[in-house]
Amino acid sequence: MTEIQKVSVKILSDAPQTLDLTPFLSIFGRWRADANHAAQWVDLADYAHMARGAGIVLIGHVCNFSFDMGTAAPGVLYFRKKGLEGSNQQRLWAVFRDALAISRCLLREPEFPPGVHLQTGRLELAFNDRLETPNTEDTDCELRPAVSAVLDELFGRGAYELERQRDPAKLYGFSVRAANLPAWDEWIARLGL
Amino acid sequence: MATSILTERDRWAHLPPAVKEELDVYETELRRMQHGLISEKVFLELRLRFGVYGQRQPGVQMQRIKIPLGMLTARQMDRIADLAEEYADGVCHITTRQDVQLHFVNINDTPNLMRRLAEAGITTREACGNAVRNVCACPKSGVCHEEVFDTTPYARAMAYFMLRHPDAQNFGRKFKIAFSGCEDQACALALMHDIGAIAQVREKDGKLERGFKVYVGGGLGPLPYQAKLFSEFVPAAEMLPLAQAIGRVFARLGEKKNRGRARMKFLVGQLGIEEFIRLVLEERQKLLPDPRWTDYLEAAENFAEKPLRPPSDLDLSGRSPEFIRWLRTNVRPQRQPGYATVTVFLPLGDISADQMHGLAALCRRFVNDTIRTTVEQNIMVRWVATGDLPDFYDGLRELDLAQTGAGTLGDVTACPGTDSCKLGIASSRGLAALLHEKFHNGLSDVAARTDLNVKISGCFNSCGQHHIADIGFFGSVQRKGGHVAPVFQVLLGGEMEGNASAYGLAVAKVPSQNAPAVIKKLSDLYTRERGENERFSDFVRRLGKARIKEELEELTVLPSYEEGPAYYKDNRQPWDYHMSTEQGECAGEVVDQSEFMLEDADRLVFEATLDLDAGRYDEAAAKTWAANLKAADALLFQKGLLLSDNYNTVEKFRELFFDTGEFYGTFAENFFRAAQEGNQGLGPEKTRRRVEEATLFVEMAQTVYSRMAGAKV
């Protein structure tokens, strides 16, 4: 069985590419001091100088969390690196649960840029491990059922479109687009948070 | 543990055997260290030699990827980008030595990371540690108007000849080599290297002969040294043996204990250049001939890159002002008509994995793997047909990589500083990022200057090469009351031109947040008072340190914490500054080569036990023999024998350790018997005995080594 450990979920936002990322320095600067957080924060990395770059990244041993300016559009990016257990579906569920939980914390921060909204119906999902999950049909056969099951729970069956990354050189992953944007609270509730 | 490693290794059976074995050894040693079977000190030097460098943040590593001469193919760019998005934080960082670095890497990912690089023909071997670091060369080699000849094949031959060379494994400190195609330009900075080679030709027997003007003993660091002239002309055929001889002299006589004085520049200084030359030439005479010294020369004479597309002209009519600006700063015509180099300006040397993938795709469309990183932390794409420039520019724009200003003041160089380096004192990247922001908001006139450059280091060690900048900064601290503030020393008057021909001197210390104002002030002063065609370094010398210090006086004032709490935060860090440095790994631990070899012997015995358990008797016996040889060579090294001398290990061991009674007789006799009997078809019982004998032989070698090393102290 494929050993999924490295998965990233990005929730796109309506922020402009010119968004000032300085507030995230303050927010993540405080967060990194929390020695008891399950993410085991290490430090933050400031890539605000890069056009369409990694933004401000809070690095952890278990996951990274950033306001990312690359791939598709600006948004919050949760990159799980280790610590996943159970079936593929359970692992994916855990990734979404933790990604949304930490995103909710970010949204509650007073410095979070006003006017920027996370778009719950626009997600990018990627499996960051070409050795374990190469972008092949075999991988797709094995992982798609788990992906669909988790997204069905989140959005409702048939309420979203799933477009797979077709370039075999790219990470195995999907763009997820839901026609009706779920309310943030409703979404969180579905994940049992 | 053993089973999972062996299964995982099957995945990599397609790698070249020597590379596969080297990386398998690395992984075995990593696991052995994690299980407490070898010391962290020995593993530290081993991982450094594979480019794995501990960051200041505990539990994460920086992986340095050696890119000889900065030469990259599109496939290699793709692979590095893959690894950045899987094992790091999605960013590839170009260094001031044309390497690529990935940050925040988990050590457990490093073996497969290296294997995947190996698939793309890249090694991280000797990227850090007390070894020959990445060989640098002008990124314009072969396409430059001023060069004497294309140094590419010679620099490459040097890089791969010195890589893993036994004579380059016992240095007290790192060793840096650079090749330049001409004397006047800045591209390769040859004079700040341990060996700096500058292309020359001379006439011999009616023919033009290629060779190099060779300088030795240069280096930056806290105490910068200009390299000394070794020879006006070293024929190309003599370059590799000369480097080998220099390496042997440095390994034998270089300082090993005092880290601060272990670079070769100190040895050259201590001996004097004449004596150093004499010793090297004497050593050269002792070398056994090596076909690699000259094998490449014929091909080198005829070396030429092939462009992907035919030469063409550029029609400028109707082009956008942005394109024209980009053309002016980032594009240079090549020596070959109809082609140009394009410099992709990377702020702070950073490019995202997505952008790297995109750039690789763009290069596939327009050029033929003719891509190089630069010491200014950019990427240069060569052989772009001039008529293709508008399409190439559009492609870069789509990737947000079409920023103008390559080679201007705005193209600031900075080391990682406190962002990740254990030695960092102030945030060099924070300052560079702040400058980047200000250059787009209010200081754009300053940023556009092409007659000034800025380089920033986070501490005095000069990884950001502040000594050779017109305006250099290095991080420091200043205490006021009970508070500590980050500050930068300002150095003025360095010169990159002429292969780093002059080093700057400190004129003032300024609070870190005043650094942009310092640049503005100096830029205005230079504009106002410069003489006709006067270079900044000459201008600084003419004005004098006292006058410039006076000009900067108001910017040197550090207010009290109560008056200006912002001064006690570093650039782009909203929290109060506190100084925290640790011992750096840049120098590596000094681990004697014998110690390495003994650890290797120990590992081989361990692997032999795994083979024995699995019923692979021939493999097990072969490994016990290899372990014995390693252990014996380790002791012979202590007697001054070098592996490259190709001595007979068994004979020499008998002469120097058995006959003298220095090694326990019975164990030595087992070794000699094994030499006679060979390793094939021994069967289970005899193989088991071989494993036991090898265990004892290696243990005894450890004991004898400890005694010898102790006696030396």
Residue B126 lies in a domain: no
Per-position DSSP letters for B98-109, written without gaps between them: S-EEEEEE-GGG
Average pLDDT, chain A: 94
Q: What pLDDT sits at residue B188? A: 83
Q: What pLDDT sits at residue B587? A: 55
Distance from CA of A183 to the nearest CA of B (A): 30
- Whether residues B387 and B462 share a domain: the answer is no
pLDDT of B506 > 90? The answer is no
What is the rounded distance in angstroms from the CA atom of residue A13 to the CA atom of residue A8? 16
Q: Is A27 on the interface with B (CB under 8 A)?
A: no
pLDDT of B363 > 70? The answer is yes
Q: Is A21 on the interface with B (CB under 8 A)?
A: no
Q: Is A53 on the interface with B (CB under 8 A)?
A: yes
Residue A154 lies in a domain: yes
Asked whether the ipTM of the predicted complex exceeds the cut of 0.90, the reply is yes
Chain segment B206-229, per-residue pLDDT in tens:
999 999 999 999 999 888 899 999
Q: What pLDDT sits at residue B607? A: 86
- Whether residues B361 and B385 share a domain: the answer is yes
Per-position DSSP letters for B112-155, written without gaps between them: HHHHHHHHTT---TTSSSSSB-PPEE-TTTTT-SS-SS--HHHH
- Whether residues B185 and B251 share a domain: the answer is yes
Q: Domain total for chain B? A: 5
Opening angle at CA B670, ends B668 and B671, nearest 5: 65
Determine, for residues A45 and B106 on separate chains, whether the beta-carbon distance falls below 8 Å.
Answer: no
Distance from CA of A145 to the nearest CA of B (A): 23
Confidence of residue B712 (pLDDT cuts 50, 70, 90): very low
Distance from CA of A42 to the nearest CA of B (A): 6
Greater pLDDT, A85 or B224: A85
CA separation, residue A76 to residues A48, A125, A153, B534, B615 (Å):
14, 12, 21, 50, 53
Chain segment A131-147, per-residue pLDDT in tens:
999 999 999 999 999 99
Distance from CA of B574 to the nearest CA of A (A): 6
- Whether residues B558 and B597 share a domain: the answer is no
Q: What pLDDT sits at residue B5? A: 53
Residue A2 lies in a domain: no
Instruction: Report phi then psi at B258, rounded to 5.
Output: -85, 105
Determine, for residues B573 and A25 on separate chains, whether the beta-carbon distance falls below 8 Å.
Answer: yes
Confidence of residue B1 (pLDDT cuts 50, 70, 90): very low
- Whether residues B108 and B181 share a domain: the answer is no
- Which residues of chain A have a CB within 8 Å of the CB of B429? 46
Determine, for residues B90 and A81 on separate chains, whether the beta-carbon distance falls below 8 Å.
Answer: no
CATH, residue B344: 3.30.70.3340
Q: Which of B63, B86, B119 is the endpoint of a domain?
A: B119
Q: Is A47 on the interface with B (CB under 8 A)?
A: yes
Q: What pLDDT sits at residue A182? A: 78
Which of B113-117, B195-199, B447-451, B502-506 is predicted least confidently?
B502-506
Q: What pLDDT sits at residue B9? A: 63
- Which residues of chain A have a CB within 8 Å of the CB of B399? 52
Greater pLDDT, B527 or B696: B527
Average pLDDT, chain B: 92
Determine, for residues B89 and A64 on separate chains, whether the beta-carbon distance falls below 8 Å.
Answer: yes
Determine, for residues B350 and A53 on separate chains, whether the beta-carbon distance falls below 8 Å.
Answer: yes
pLDDT of B2 > 50? The answer is no
pLDDT of B4 > 60? The answer is no
pLDDT of B713 > 60? The answer is no
- Whether residues B269 and B161 share a domain: the answer is yes
Chain segment B59-90, per-residue pLDDT in tens:
999 999 999 999 999 999 999 999 999 999 99
Q: Is A129 on the interface with B (CB under 8 A)?
A: yes
- Which residues of chain B have a CB within 8 Å of the CB of A26? 574
Which of A36-40, A48-52, B599-603 is predicted least confidently?
B599-603
Chain segment A5-18, per-residue pLDDT in tens:
999 999 999 999 99
Residue B163 lies in a domain: yes
- In three-state secondary structure terms, A186 is helix
pLDDT of B535 > 80? The answer is yes
Which single residue is written with the structure tokens 């505990």?
A: B58
- Mean pLDDT for B678-695 is 89
- Whether residues B214 and B342 share a domain: the answer is no
Residue A184 lies in a domain: yes
- Whether residues B487 and B611 share a domain: the answer is no
Residue B553 lies in a domain: yes
Q: What pLDDT sits at residue B502? A: 86
Q: What is the dihedral of CA B431, B434, B436, B442, to 10 degrees?
A: -130
Residue B574 lies in a domain: no
Determine, for residues B85 and A47 on separate chains, whether the beta-carbon distance falls below 8 Å.
Answer: no
Residue A1 lies in a domain: no
Distance from CA of B620 to the nearest CA of A (A): 30
- Whether residues B523 and B466 share a domain: the answer is yes
Distance from CA of B77 to the nearest CA of A (A): 12
What is the rounded distance in angstroms from the CA atom of residue A105 to the CA atom of residue A38? 14
pLDDT of B104 > 60? The answer is yes
Distance from CA of B78 to the nearest CA of A (A): 9
- Which residues of chain A have a CB within 8 Å of the CB of B410? none
Determine, for residues B354 and A51 on separate chains, whether the beta-carbon distance falls below 8 Å.
Answer: no
Chain segment B611-661, per-residue pLDDT in tens:
888 899 999 999 999 999 999 999 999 888 888 888 999 999 999 999 998
Say what percent of chain B tops pLDDT 90.
75
- Whether residues B334 and B467 share a domain: the answer is no
| Of A42, A52, A54, Cβ closest to residue B400 | A52
Q: Is A62 on the interface with B (CB under 8 A)?
A: no
Closest CA to B671 of B683, B682, B681, B679: B679
- Whether residues B107 and B35 share a domain: the answer is yes
Q: Which of B57, B84, B119 is the endpoint of a domain?
A: B119
Q: What is the dihedral of CA A59, A63, A68, A71, to 10 degrees?
A: 130
Residue B581 lies in a domain: no
Q: Round to the nearest angstrom and report the end-to-end CA distance of chain A.
A: 29
Q: Which of B119, B152, B170 is the endpoint of a domain?
A: B119
**Structural domain that includes position A119:** 7-190
| Of A29, A46, A82, Cβ closest to residue B433 | A46
Confidence of residue B664 (pLDDT cuts 50, 70, 90): confident
Distance from CA of A47 to the nearest CA of B (A): 8
Chain segment B588-620, per-residue pLDDT in tens:
556 778 888 888 898 888 888 888 888 999 999
- Whether residues B239 and B294 share a domain: the answer is yes
Residue B167 lies in a domain: yes
- Which residues of chain B have a CB within 8 Å of the CB of A47? 91, 350, 352
**Structural domain that includes position B471:** 413-568
CATH, residue B16: 3.30.70
Testing the interface with B: which of A25, A32, A42, A47 to mutate, by most B Cβ within 10 A? A47
Determine, for residues A42 and B78 on separate chains, whether the beta-carbon distance falls below 8 Å.
Answer: no
> Residue B437: closest CA among chain A residues belongs to which residue?
A49
Q: Are B572 and A25 in contact (CB under 8 A)?
A: yes
**Other Cβ atoms within 10 Å of B290 Cβ, number:** 15
pLDDT of B3 > 60? The answer is no
pLDDT of A37 > 70? The answer is yes
Q: Domain total for chain A? A: 1
Residue B642 lies in a domain: yes
Residue B214 lies in a domain: yes
Chain segment B249-286, per-residue pLDDT in tens:
999 999 988 887 899 999 999 999 999 999 999 999 99
Determine, for residues A29 and B575 on separate chains, whether the beta-carbon distance falls below 8 Å.
Answer: yes
Confidence of residue B710 (pLDDT cuts 50, 70, 90): low
| Burial per residue of B25-56, b for 16 or more beta-carbon CB atoms within 10 angstroms, e otherwise | bbbbbbbbbeeeebeeebbbbbbbbbbbbbbb
Determine, for residues A54 and B60 on separate chains, whether the beta-carbon distance falls below 8 Å.
Answer: no
